[in-house]
Amino acid sequence: ITSLPLLGRGKVRENYGIGSDKMLMVASDRLSAFDVIMNEPIPDKGRVLTGMALFWFDKLAHIIPNHGTGISPETVVAAGEVDQVRGRAQVVKKLKPVMVEAVVRGYLAGSGWKEYQDSGAVCGIKLPAGLKQASKLPEPIFTPATKAEMGEHDENISFEKMCEIVGKDLAEQIRTVSIHLYQEAADYAATRGIIIADTKFEFGLDEQGRLTLMDEVLTADSSRFWPADSYREGISPPSYDKQFVRDWLEAWRDASGQPWPKTKPA
Ligand code: C5P
């Protein structure tokens, strides 16, 4: 897009300025995992993920306001750029980001499973003994992570650490809302045969200081989705998201002994 000023380019998305209080958020077809940006884009990935996020923003709007403005992306770019943004962009409010990622887990996977194997706890939350990979947790848990700059890695942190970063009141509000959002989404997905194993929410504060849901929500980049009919406790389930890329990269790292490269290793 050249008709709007570029504000920032993330691993997967780009933000363009619209006046002083709004942005156009465009989802590219790039795929990134563990901060590695893969060389090959996935055709239409940005459109699919934008569709998912819009679906969930709408479905969950009764729980918390979100960054959406209702303005159509096609109306804010030059005529020649309408096709580029169609289906993969959203006109959003500029918010003050809360510098913590709000992860909720209903099942043990990824870094949650790793932490549990090491310590019996995830982000300081003690869990029952004897859980397996992919076990359903007795109840969903809130496991915050730092929001790292480009090139750094996000790290799981305790709730107490989150309170130090954002303040206790805001941390508690985010924990309550995140678990509520997860529960409602997981209940809905269950009616469609999908388990939402875990997901990550991002929040910001608007001009009035109101907590607002932003970024992407419950997409295949920010969540683990498992088909309920092939779920078995103790085995890594097939995952309708980017888990296969994480698995591939981890296998590469373990075999090569090398740190993550910036782009897909040969
Ligand atoms: O890798 P981990 O098990 O910590 O991820 C937990 C959940 O949070 C997964 O659904 C993952 O997609 C999401 N997540 C994310 N962005 C991050 C870290 C985790 O979307 N930076």
Nearest atom within ligand 1 for CA of residue 114: 3
| pLDDT, average across residues 119-134 | 98
- Which residue's CA is the closest to the ligand 1 atom numbered 16? 222
Residue 221: is its pLDDT beyond 80? yes
Mutate to test the pocket of ligand 1, among 32, 125, 218, 222 (most ligand atoms within 8 A of CB): 222
Query: Rounded to the nearest 5°, which phi and psi values hold at 90?
Result: -145, 140
* ipTM, two decimals: 0.95
- Which amino acid residue places its CA nearest to atom 20 of ligand 1? 222
Domains and CATH numbers, the chain: 6-93 (3.30.200.20), 96-254 (3.30.470.20)
User: To which H or E segment does residue 100 belong?
Assistant: strand 100-107
Rounded average pLDDT over 101-114: 97
* Confidence class for position 265, pLDDT limits 50, 70, 90: confident
Q: Tell me which of 49, 103, 125 to substitute to probe ligand 1's pocket, judged by most ligand atoms within 8 Å of the beta carbon.
A: 103
In this prediction, residue 150 carries a pLDDT of: 57
Task: Tell me how far the alpha carbon of residue 222 lies from the centroid of ligand 1, in angstroms.
Answer: 6
Taking residues 108-120, what's their average pLDDT? Answer: 97
Which atom from ligand 1 is nearest to the alpha carbon of 242? 12
Residue 14's beta-bridge partner residues?
9, 26
**pLDDT tens digits for range 25-82:** 999 999 999 889 999 999 999 999 999 999 999 999 999 999 999 999 999 999 999 9
DSSP H helical segments within the chain, as ranges? 45-59, 82-85, 110-119, 159-166, 168-190, 243-256
Q: Is the pLDDT of residue 264 over 80?
A: no
Q: Which residues lie closer than 8 Å to 245 by C-beta, 6 or more apart?
A: 31, 33, 38
Q: pTM of this prediction?
A: 0.96
In this model, does residue 152 exceed pLDDT 70? no
pLDDT, residue 111, reads: 96
* 149 confidence band (pLDDT: 50, 70, 90): low
Locate the ligand 1 atom nearest the alpha carbon of residue 154 and give its number.
Answer: 21
Give the model's pLDDT for residue 259.
82
Reported as a single tens digit per residue, the pLDDT across 238-262 is 999 999 999 999 999 999 998 888 7
User: Per-residue confidence at 263, pLDDT binned at 50, 70, 90?
Assistant: confident
Average pLDDT over residues 156-163: 98
Q: Give the position, in ligand 1's atom list, of the atom nearest the Cα of 111.
A: 3
| Mean pLDDT value across the chain | 95
Hey, whose CA ends up nearest to atom 21 of ligand 1?
154
The reported pLDDT for the residue numbered 35 is 83
Nearest protein CA to atom 10 of ligand 1, as residue:
223
In this prediction, residue 151 has a pLDDT band, given cuts at 50, 70 and 90, of: low
How high is the pLDDT of residue 190?
98
Ligand 1 proximal residues by C-beta, below 6 Å: 101, 103, 109-112, 145, 154, 198-200, 222-224
DSSP 169-226: HHHHHHHHHHHHHHHHHHHHHHTTTEEEEEEEEEEEE-TT--EEEES--S-TTTEEEE
In this predicted structure, what is the pLDDT of residue 260? 81
pLDDT for 180 beyond 80: yes
Q: Ligand 1: which atom is nearest the Cα of residue 222?
A: 20
pLDDT of the residue at 77: 98
